Structure 1
């Protein structure tokens, strides 16, 4: 869920954690389903849910704690939750976090080293409170920045606490969020991201996750690992060097082309490729490709599938054949995709392509196309690793 309005601050310090230094976390990822109308969610291993197309992390906020279910998003940095009093909040099923009832909530002052403003526009109020304004393609959140005690529970049942995590207390929130999504937890490369804040206390700013396919039984969960032990290793691992782009949040790669079977569809038919033209974004379900590239790719997909599509779409009732696609990245890195990653099985039994064309020069690889890969992100070494995995069996 890549931001369109960037956060007007940069963190200059990292919260200390009560976790054992260097000890990683393993959290459960829970999958929840998003209706078609809503498709627009360490080592720390904690619970993650997929919300049909979004994956949700469960985290305890405050003292006494409120359980927050936040969309896991590698395309943004800020962790925020809906927060009372609400100027404008979308409907939420579970109780909204109330900072007035927490003994560990502390708003940040504009003079705080953790509230370092950049860019244009006022981010501080007349009361000297550090404000934030963060936007996405599908919505936005505004409120105040604060520190709060956070806690995550691992698969083993052990709870790890972090006493002063900076987060956004969102009083004005809108977009395509549904009633089960209580906020968003950013896992981008920026200093304010959750993994950047707790990483040094759990063995490093790195994490791995395994996202389940769209049609998986929602009662089945897989794992998010943060810090020590989250490394993706062993036979079959493909590692790519991330590209440093102007936006410090993104996990960016240079996509050179996509093969359908043995037929190569180049990223561009004219001009040099822009470095870092593709980002990995767990907060967006679909893969988004420049329209010109998508048009050529779609034609090739139709040519390779033996059955006829439904109407004028890339949806099929059955018989996708043995379609294999490959993402080609700069540095001779090739990521082979099966129909599990390229087609979602819909409730009516049909299969629909997981990519679409957009008016943009850059591409975005969404969470559907990353299904059944164990993906490891290493911020300090600027690498991302992929390993083909049955994510329903990751414990």
Structure 2
């Protein structure tokens, strides 16, 4: 009897983020004053060498359709080690990548993106620019051939004579892109980048199928993500350009996606990448796109999960989660703010800030200063504010931190930095972000300061859209209720 080994794709998911602060920042603070928090200086530095993973501290609002998520640069990561350089992520490089990413998203929001990505050649090249990632430590397999505890496959579903094996793949969660993808064989180096996990092999999956050129699924790519067709195989080709030096191209395909025993997506559409441009950090296998356009994981699962998803970005020494669907219990309280969708660029999720409170006092800026809105983005690192708002925040923060002057040298676009080497502990003013509808993010020190700097920056101009960075989103469950038209926040969720 012939025995064939079938292989599925297990996605270990990452969420872009800086992950450079201690998991203890803000925990067990001594409140010298109700508007300040006193924390050890060490908690405002990079992840200490002796930091250890404290395991999964997740409380997802959806008790079934969720998977754990880790910081790629932290001790809980499955893709990093203390011997590698990825623990010591360079903040300057990370902020450069952040500026490139947010600048490109602004370009998409301000112009017709019908031709974005089309016709761009993929030429392998390396870059030292690094970004901030989170990964799901236990996620999805593509294919019905899984033999791990994450699979819903049972022995009576296995065809006679076939053995099922699972291949783990680590991918980045991205709320500002629409096409999920992983590197697939054939995938020669350097056209493809090195990754921790073996390359996904379509030939070993019984449920893999390429999408044909004339199919509705191929047409959905349009000129934004379509890259023509194979003249010999009639296979649909895709391309995604991220605007920060990174891009991917290959064949658009389907397979069965299993993210957990309760999250199974049949005929899941994703890019089978045969070439990339730029360096995708931490040797991950690809991107899990959660944007608002057709083709993203959100849109492919909208009917089954109510057109909603949430995540909790953890501190580096613990774990967060990604959840499909909304809360299963009405008693779980979220503070909501309206979701603003741009019909021309539906990929992005925009919210409206109304005020900022520093050390108990609201910044004195007119409401019109916030008029451009802000993109909720899993990949943006620091929160970017309109220049008048940032100037007021900077003035208030520097005044509250006067005891730690003079200022240290700026780090990239972070211009309010301090040298804390003389101080065993630091008194940090409380900062809260107030959104339309009253939803408020009360930030802990790890969400206020990044490597000794105020983790906020100014946008390029008063008319430029802002960003809510993932540094500020840490420990909150952020619910993207697209069907309900809101973004929700639940504190202390991970």
TM-score, L = length of structure 2: 0.62
**Equivalent in the alignment of 1:161:** 264
2:230 touches 2:237 (CA, 8 Å); kept in 1? no
1:259 touches 1:265 (CA, 8 Å); kept in 2? no
SS at 1:326's partner residue? strand
**Equivalent in the alignment of 1:384:** 487
Within the candidate set 178, 182, 195, 1:92 is matched to 195
* Deviation at residue 386 of structure 1 after TM alignment: 0.7
Which structure has greater helix proportion? 2
Within the candidate set 205, 208, 227, 1:123 is matched to 227
1:208 equivalent in alignment to 2:305? no
Quote the Cα distance in structure 1 between the aligned partners of 2:487 and 2:479: 5
Quote the Cα distance in structure 2 between the aligned partners of 1:294 and 1:282: 21
Quote the Cα distance in structure 2 between the aligned partners of 1:265 and 1:188: 34
Taking only aligned residues, the RMSD between alpha carbons, in angstroms, comes to 3.1
**Equivalent in the alignment of 2:363:** 264
1:232 touches 1:385 (CA, 8 Å); kept in 2? no
* Deviation at residue 209 of structure 1 after TM alignment: 1.8
Which structure has greater strand proportion? 1
* Deviation at residue 337 of structure 1 after TM alignment: 2.4
* Deviation at residue 255 of structure 1 after TM alignment: 2.4
1:73 equivalent in alignment to 2:170? no
1:135-168 superposed Cα distances (whole Å, 9 cap, x missing partner)? 2243111122111121123xxxx46432310001
1:334-371 superposed Cα distances (whole Å, 9 cap, x missing partner)? 43323232123x4xxxx333223343611111211100
1:110 touches 1:129 (CA, 8 Å); kept in 2? yes
Quote the Cα distance in structure 2 between the aligned partners of 1:225 and 1:267: 37
Quote the Cα distance in structure 1 between the aligned partners of 2:474 and 2:63: 27
**Equivalent in the alignment of 2:397:** 301
For structure 2, the 5+ residue unaligned runs are: 1-14, 17-61, 74-85, 98-129, 146-164
1:223-254 superposed Cα distances (whole Å, 9 cap, x missing partner)? 2221264578545x311110121311111112
**Equivalent in the alignment of 1:323:** 429
SS at 2:229's partner residue? coil
1:280-304 superposed Cα distances (whole Å, 9 cap, x missing partner)? 1112333234456434432332122
Q: Which has more radius of gyration?
A: 2
SS at 1:123's partner residue? strand
SS at 1:118's partner residue? helix
- Quick check: 134-143 or 331-340, which moved more? 331-340
Q: How does 1:97-108 map to 2 (within 5 A)?
A: 97-108=200-211
**Equivalent in the alignment of 1:151:** 258
Return closer, same or farther for 1:232/1:327 CA change in 2, 3 Å cut-off.
farther
Within the candidate set 82, 86, 89, 2:183 is matched to 82
TM-score, L = length of structure 1: 0.77
Quote the Cα distance in structure 2 between the aligned partners of 1:162 and 1:224: 15
* Deviation at residue 26 of structure 1 after TM alignment: 2.2
* Deviation at residue 325 of structure 1 after TM alignment: 1.8
How many residues of Structure 1 are paired with residues of Structure 2 in the alignment?
Answer: 344
- Quick check: 243-252 or 311-320, which moved more? 311-320
1:191 touches 1:197 (CA, 8 Å); kept in 2? yes
Quote the Cα distance in structure 2 between the aligned partners of 1:290 and 1:110: 44
**Equivalent in the alignment of 2:19:** none
SS at 1:303's partner residue? helix
Return closer, same or farther for 1:279/1:103 CA change in 2, 3 Å cut-off.
same
Quote the Cα distance in structure 2 between the aligned partners of 1:224 and 1:121: 25
2:63 touches 2:328 (CA, 8 Å); kept in 1? no
**Equivalent in the alignment of 2:66:** 26
Quote the Cα distance in structure 1 between the aligned partners of 2:300 and 2:467: 25
Q: How does 1:1-395 map to 2 (within 5 A)?
A: 24-33=64-73, 34=86, 35-36=89-90, 39=94, 40=97, 53-57=132-136, 58-62=139-143, 63=145, 64-86=165-187, 88-116=191-219, 117-119=221-223, 123-127=227-231, 128-138=234-244, 139-153=246-260, 158=261, 160-201=263-304, 203-213=305-315, 216-217=316-317, 220-227=318-325, 229=327, 234-235=332-333, 237-245=334-342, 246-261=344-359, 262-264=361-363, 266=365, 273-274=371-372, 277-290=373-386, 293-305=389-401, 306-308=403-405, 309-312=407-410, 313-316=415-418, 317=420, 320-344=426-450, 346=451, 351-359=452-460, 361-389=464-492, 391=494
Return closer, same or farther for 1:230/1:376 CA change in 2, 3 Å cut-off.
farther
1:285 touches 1:368 (CA, 8 Å); kept in 2? yes
SS at 2:222's partner residue? coil
Quote the Cα distance in structure 2 between the aligned partners of 1:32 and 1:212: 11
Return closer, same or farther for 1:263/1:383 CA change in 2, 3 Å cut-off.
closer
